[in-house]
């Protein structure tokens, strides 16, 4: 690594939510693969995959099919969001102003902040649990705080260091995953239980939905990383780099988790993996996972800070937050994440999966509106400078049409929801099969297209010729 590269890594990032100027763009689309491949290399991914065979009770083959299909489908929507980054050069949630208006987008931004902090806290819990599995006498509280401190230091430097850390993590944990698969295949309990479980459609669709929401929960911040790519890189590289990196790693680790869930019963997935690997190799793998997860958690911390700054700027129009504002915001969010992790640690499993379910229902309508507006209605043509206008510019403060579609999309899912706290009547009639995500996506996309065609004023749609900043291919 050259001296210039090292300097860039450890220079505190000065950019925040303003558009990235062309002379500050750098990197290649292929680097997105390692960023997102490394982002998923965490104990949380393994634990989530284990639910297929442990909590849901599916046999291995249906578990793998549900995991693969769910990630493949969800990844398409997620990567289409990533492809917007090089063209617009702004964080994903700030770009939502083009669909929902400056004030209307704040509702979506607030949901995204909750999501980022929730994932941040979840990763803290699982990382700390991995360490306390090896050191039963260690304080879980101290481990959570320690993991958060590591995340804060990396996030403080900003985009370049976050990107490099996740890239290194991809290679480290990638090797550990291969070792884990070899150990799993050599485990007699795995082969003895390979046909265990019972196939049910509700369980299959539940795991399918987990894969979809896993990918879609990255949608609100994939452009935060692709926005630094030179505009000439185009949308195709950003799409495939993000899609392949994110889908490959998350699906692989969830399949590993499903296998571990078969080989061990009655224990946490990471503790079970430690038992399969043995004391020495198991310790190496768990420590590696924990460190990579703690450092990779800086991705959630970095993006949550951008979202929080976007939310504040909505009500302080004209304010351009710099490095100091980002650092203070990141510190506050880390403290909130630590508090949440310490509170939720005792009931992590149930809290986490309820959290995932709610996110799915909320994110689906936003994603549908964003993608339809970007790719079908406006064809990527936005006046980026007007995202920052005090009065919302041509996109206004409140976009009534988009907000209406969002409400319709959420409401349409209610009868089809199947969660631990609520099951809709239509989901009940289908024996608990959850297709709410499909209904929400379809209804939201169709409703937005209808409004755009029949009542374009409701979404403040102007003739394409007025747009001065067309998407770059």
pLDDT in tens, 367-423: 999 999 999 999 888 999 999 988 888 899 999 999 999 999 999 999 998 877 788
Residue 30 maps to a domain: no
- Averaged over 103-127, what is the pLDDT? 85
- Averaged over 291-319, what is the pLDDT? 86
pLDDT at residue number 118: 81
DSSP 374: I
pLDDT digits (tens, 9 = 90+) for 151-197: 999 999 988 898 888 888 888 888 889 999 999 999 888 888 888 88
Task: Spell out the alpha helix ranges (H) of 345-468.
Answer: 348-372, 400-413, 425-429, 436-454
| Residue 403 token pair | 């907000």
pLDDT tier for residue 357 given thresholds of 50, 70 and 90? low
Q: 423 - beta bridge partners?
A: 418
- Give the predicted TM-score (pTM) of the model: 0.86
Nearest to 255 by CA among 53, 30, 6, 457: 53
CA distance 161 to 103: 32
pLDDT at residue number 130: 79
pLDDT at residue number 473: 35
CA distance 451 to 405: 9
pLDDT tier for residue 295 given thresholds of 50, 70 and 90? confident
| Residue 424 token pair | 């809709």
Q: Which residue segment(s) compose the domain that 180 sits in?
A: 40-347
Helix axes 31-39, 279-296, angle to 10 degrees: 120
- The residues, any chain, with a CB within 8 Å of residue 409's CB and separated by 6 or more, are 364, 365, 368, 369, 440, 441, 443, 444, 447
pLDDT at 456 over 70: yes
Residue 119 maps to a domain: yes
CA distance 145 to 150: 9
**Which of 248 and 347 is assigned the larger pLDDT?**
248
- The residues, any chain, with a CB within 8 Å of residue 353's CB and separated by 6 or more, are 51, 210, 420
Residue 24 maps to a domain: no
pLDDT at residue number 3: 43
Residue 4 maps to a domain: no
pLDDT at residue number 19: 87
pLDDT tier for residue 348 given thresholds of 50, 70 and 90? low
Residue 303 maps to a domain: yes
pLDDT at residue number 469: 43
As a whole-number percent, the residues of the chain with pLDDT over 90 amount to 38
Residue 465 maps to a domain: no
Pick the range with the lowest mean pLDDT from 34-43, 53-62, 137-146. Answer: 34-43
Residue 33 maps to a domain: no
Which residue's entry shows tokens 């007007």? 386
- Averaged over 263-282, what is the pLDDT? 84
CA distance 78 to 71: 10
Q: Which residues of 205-222 are buried (b: 16+ CB within 10 A; e: fewer)?
A: bbbbbbbbbbbbbbbbbb
> Is 392 within 8 Å of 402 (Cβ atoms)?
no
| Residue 423, helix vs strand vs coil | strand
CATH of the domain at 328: 1.10.4160.10
> Is 296 within 8 Å of 169 (Cβ atoms)?
yes
pLDDT at residue number 90: 92
Residue 464 maps to a domain: no
pLDDT at residue number 105: 92
Mean model confidence pLDDT for the chain: 86
How many residues comprise the chain?
473
| Residue 9, helix vs strand vs coil | helix
**Which of 348 and 329 is assigned the larger pLDDT?**
329
Distance set, CA 460 to CA 26, 97, 409, 434 (Å):
34, 12, 20, 34
Q: 418 - beta bridge partners?
A: 423
Distance set, CA 7 to CA 15, 20, 151, 161, 445 (Å):
16, 19, 20, 10, 45
pLDDT at 122 over 70: yes
For the chain, the domain total comes to 1
Which residue's entry shows tokens 């937050």? 321
| Residue 306 token pair | 């951008």
């Amino acid at each position: 690594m050259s001296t210039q590269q090292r300097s860039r890594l450890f220079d505190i990032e000065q950019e925040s939510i303003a558009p990235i100027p062309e002379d500050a763009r750098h990197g290649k689309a292929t680097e997105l693969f390692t960023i997102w491949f490394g982002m998923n290399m965490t104990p949380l991914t393994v634990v989530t995959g284990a639910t297929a065979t442990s909590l849901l009770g599916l046999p291995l083959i249906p578990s793998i099919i549900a995991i693969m299909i769910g990630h493949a489908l969800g990844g398409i929507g997620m990567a289409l969001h990533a492809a917007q980054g090089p063209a617009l050069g702004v964080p994903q949630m700030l770009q939502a102003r083009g669909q929902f208006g400056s004030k209307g987008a704040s509702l979506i931004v607030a949901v995204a902040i909750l999501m980022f902090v929730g994932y941040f806290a979840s990763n803290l819990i699982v990382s700390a649990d991995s360490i306390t599995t090896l050191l039963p006498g260690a304080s879980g509280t101290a481990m959570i705080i320690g993991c958060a401190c590591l995340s804060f230091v990396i996030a403080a430097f900003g985009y370049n260091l976050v990107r490099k850390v996740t890239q290194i993590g991809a290679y480290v944990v990638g090797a550990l995953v291969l070792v884990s698969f070899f150990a799993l295949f050599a485990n007699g309990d795995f082969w003895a239980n390979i046909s265990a479980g019972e196939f049910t459609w509700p369980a299959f669709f539940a795991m399918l939905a987990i894969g979809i929401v896993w990918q879609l929960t990255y949608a609100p911040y994939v452009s935060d990383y692709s926005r630094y790519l030179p505009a000439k890189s185009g949308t195709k590289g950003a799409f495939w780099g993000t899609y392949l990196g994110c889908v490959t790693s998350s699906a692989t680790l969830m399949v590993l988790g499903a296998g571990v869930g078969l080989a061990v019963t009655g224990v946490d997935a990471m503790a079970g993996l430690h038992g399969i690997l043995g004391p020495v190799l198991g310790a190496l793998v768990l420590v590696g996972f924990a460190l990579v997860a703690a450092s990779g958690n800086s991705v959630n911390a970095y993006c949550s800070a951008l979202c929080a700054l976007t939310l504040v700027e909505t009500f302080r129009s004209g304010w351009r937050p710099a490095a100091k504002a980002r650092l203070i915001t990141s510190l506050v969010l880390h403290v909130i994440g630590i508090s949440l992790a310490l509170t939720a640690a005792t009931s992590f499993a149930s809290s986490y999966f309820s959290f995932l379910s709610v996110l799915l229902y909320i994110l689906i309508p936003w994603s549908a509106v964003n993608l339809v507006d970007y790719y079908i209605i406006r064809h990527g043509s936005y006046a980026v400078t007007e995202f920052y206008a005090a009065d919302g510019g041509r996109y206004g403060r409140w976009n009534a049409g988009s907000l209406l579609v969002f409400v319709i999309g959420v409401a349409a899912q209610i009868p089809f929801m199947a969660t631990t706290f609520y099951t809709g009547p239509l989901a009940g009639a289908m024996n608990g099969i959850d297709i709410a995500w499909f209904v929400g996506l379809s209804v939201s996309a169709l409703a937005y297209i209808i409004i755009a065609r029949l009542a374009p004023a409701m979404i403040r749609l102007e003739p394409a010729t007025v747009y001065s900043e067309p998407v770059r291919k």
